[in-house]
Structure 1
Amino acid sequence: MAKEYFPSGSAAIVGAFESPRRKAPGLHPYQIHAEVIAEALADAGLDLSDVDGFATAASFPSEAGWQLNVVEIAEYVGIKPSWVCSTDIGGAAPLSHVGNAVAAIHAGLCETVVISYASTGRSWPLPASDFNTGQTGPGEFEVPYGVSTISAYALAATRYMHQYGLRSEELAEIAVQARRYAHLNPQAMYRDIITVDDVLSSPMISSPLRKLDCCVVSDSGGAIVVTSRNRARDTRRGGLSILGFGEAISHGQMNQMSDLSTTSAEFSGQRAFASARLTPADIKVAQIYDSFTITVALSLEALGFVPKGEVGRFIAEGGIAPGGRLPINTDGGGLSSNHAGRRGMFAIIEAVRQLRGESPGLQLDAPELCLVNGTGGWLSATSTLILGAKQ
């Protein structure tokens, strides 16, 4: 059904900007919102008066928002939209905002949408609990026992490794390759080359995930501008076509996850490929949410890039490395470049830069398509985008 109903190619990304900040003590996240929105609009050759749609999510403490966050941030920045979206499915939310914006533009509810994200996840001065700590409903079976984001992902890693024989050395290779890309990115938070032994000798955080299996914690922000295909032709940079989109949710707490060896990217990916009329074989570069190394491993299989149970061999044989079958996270990703909270925004921006030939990390040779996949919560929700270099 997605192939029939998602308006593939009807809208485009015409502006994008990622904050170079990785540490921003004393800076309010809304100031970062204002900075990245201004820069993304300048990139598109537009200004605030051109914007009639706005999307963001800011419910985490380090994002400084809560209820009505989209209203508060729009007010701070000076946007008066006729269409708003505050869909919040964790790190996948920015991708869902893009899909929702395309639908709104196609329906005539707005024409030019700004989507922004900002967080001071590293520098936030106030104590904050881990997310997903509700003590009622499914949470009553986990929260009293001290489960955390890392331990939840470690459960999935443990199950997959038991079921399919994935080795810690193969997971470590994901972090090693991320650092190879980050080494070429002057904005990346960590750039020193690491080895598999470095990963395996880093402190154990929640078995089997070690420190270097986990994403960095940074401050940062980013924004993109989405407009109709016709309007895109008149913008400063032209536009990158939004060809495919899909989203899916599966569970809140891990005790409700029906299969710890896969994610809902099976369904968001299928919907994105169907709406773009493409297959995994058509994709030569991808930006895949990397909150942890296991997130990447599960996503590669769920999206159909690797047969079930074979991701370890694919990684060990250099499949995601520079020059491999599917280079991923070419800016260094969340494992090395930045992860302020909802890494999906930065994955979209790196996809835009790759298709424009402007990646600050490893720039591939004129890619025509890029897949972006976001993961939110405790492997709870996914969104998938497919972008094209040509309108």
Structure 2
Amino acid sequence: MNGIPQIVGAFEHPTRLSPDKTAAQLHAEAARGALTDAGLTKDDVDGYFCSGDAPGGTMSMANYLNLRLRHCDTLDVGGSSAVAQVAQACAAIQMGKCNVALITQAGRPKSSGVTTGTKKIVKDSLAPDLIWELPYAVPNVANYALVAARHFYEFGTTSEQLAWVRVAASHHAQHNPNAVLRKLVTVDDVLQSPLISDPLHRLDCCLITDGGGAIVVARNEIAASLGRPAIRMKGAGLALKHQEGGAIDLTYSAAAQSGREAFSQAGINAADIRYASIYDSFTITVVIQLEDLGFCPKGKGGAFVADGNLIANIGKLAVNTDGGGLCNNHPANRGGITKVIEAVRQLRQEAAPEVQIKDCGLACVQATGGHMATRHASATLILERT
């Protein structure tokens, strides 16, 4: 067994609209950026990980990128794929299957004309539930509105509390030159934006953007030779939650299990975390995951996020200091990789100075993929600067 692998490269593609590029080209440019950040080249890569956003999967992308691989994997758990693949890459390296692993995620839904919050959750596929969902064409936002409405009913959560998630994101995005929405917003701004699916307003919904990102993970000995800050995975968890034959509880997510596994492996708890990257497809998504990860008790998430408590260096817990999917970037409708990238920036002390957490030694990365009201996956990472 090799030593603990390290994240040595991270890159977020600067584009948010790319009508002149293919999805494969975005993958390639993100890969080059992450390898340059690590001080490596494509010829050093012998492991490759991608997901459903990669055209043609690993075979086609390895050919396009001209990679000579000993190991590859295509895991598709939606927006949590890239987060889960960091753990997969570390495991593959420790098993001796590869020495340098590349993870890419990219796409161009904005150039393809996808409209925020209204993309149908069904696809041309033979997945077993689709024959029941096709007649209703349930939009993504309606799924999350159902979750929000249940949380409101069970715990007294309010639209004003959800709005604070977007307010915090805007406070962070103003310091990110690549963010799509850099304008500060208030709670009233969120509440006065159009109601998309009750109780979610337009400003409760994430962006749809082109772009992408990449991560490079390397064997410990290689990482040590590169002179980059050492970022290692301290804990990881992966879980699925679905309809369980009708036993549906909309008040929690699969993060309850994946988070428990990650924190247990890391030997810490939520109180030890200084920075958290939390998947923010909608404002309610953040509230649910913060509860499930143990940052606050179940049902208290609304109060936890209110009054600026997610704003860096002001509130209780800095969340999504790049502006997140709500204000910065949500490439390929799969924002997981950007969550890893901003956590790496924070741990390296490379975040924007206005949002950098002093002496940030531990970070939590959390992402869900799929649809929280029906079937979804959750991946959790605990990252540490050593």
| TM-score, structure 1 normalization | 0.92
Show CA shifts across 1:56-92 (max 9, x none).
1134xxx6x2xx4121111111112111111000000
Deviation at 1:106, TM superposition (A): 0.8
154, 157, 163: which one aligns with 1:172: 163
Q: Check if 1:339 corresponds to 2:330.
A: yes
Contact 2:3 2:94 in 1 (8 A): no
Please show how residues 64-79 of structure 1 align to structure 2 within 5 Å.
65=55, 68-79=56-67
SS at match of 2:226: coil
Change (3 A) 1:9 1:162: farther
Please show how residues 258-269 of structure 1 align to structure 2 within 5 Å.
258-269=248-259
Please show how residues 46-195 of structure 1 align to structure 2 within 5 Å.
46-59=40-53, 65=55, 68-124=56-112, 130-133=120-123, 137-195=128-186
Contact 2:122 2:133 in 1 (8 A): no
Deviation at 1:324, TM superposition (A): 1.4
Counterpart of 1:373 in structure 2 is 366
CA–CA separation in structure 2 for the residues paired with 1:137 and 1:197? 42
2:92 maps to amino acid: A
Show CA shifts across 1:83-138 (max 9, x none).
11110000000011111111111111111100011111211269996343457633
346, 357, 364: which one aligns with 2:357: 364
Deviation at 1:239, TM superposition (A): 2.5
Change (3 A) 1:97 1:257: farther
Contact 1:17 1:224 in 2 (8 A): yes
Deviation at 1:255, TM superposition (A): 8.5
2:365 maps to amino acid: V
Contact 1:17 1:222 in 2 (8 A): yes
Q: Check if 1:211 corresponds to 2:199.
A: no
Counterpart of 1:21 in structure 2 is 15
Change (3 A) 1:132 1:9: farther
Contact 1:8 1:242 in 2 (8 A): no
SS at match of 2:225: coil
Q: Check if 1:283 corresponds to 2:283.
A: no
Q: Check if 1:348 corresponds to 2:340.
A: yes
Deviation at 1:39, TM superposition (A): 1.4
Deviation at 1:45, TM superposition (A): 0.9
| TM-score, structure 2 normalization | 0.93
Q: Check if 1:221 corresponds to 2:212.
A: yes
CA–CA separation in structure 2 for the residues paired with 1:147 and 1:39? 37
1:324 maps to amino acid: G
CA–CA separation in structure 2 for the residues paired with 1:155 and 1:357? 38
Show CA shifts across 1:281-314 (max 9, x none).
1101100000000100100001011101111111
Q: Check if 1:37 corresponds to 2:31.
A: yes
Deviation at 1:318, TM superposition (A): 3.1
Counterpart of 1:382 in structure 2 is 378
Q: Check if 1:230 corresponds to 2:218.
A: no
Unpaired runs of 5+ residues, structure 1, are: 1-6
1:79 maps to amino acid: L
CA–CA separation in structure 2 for the residues paired with 1:135 and 1:118? 25
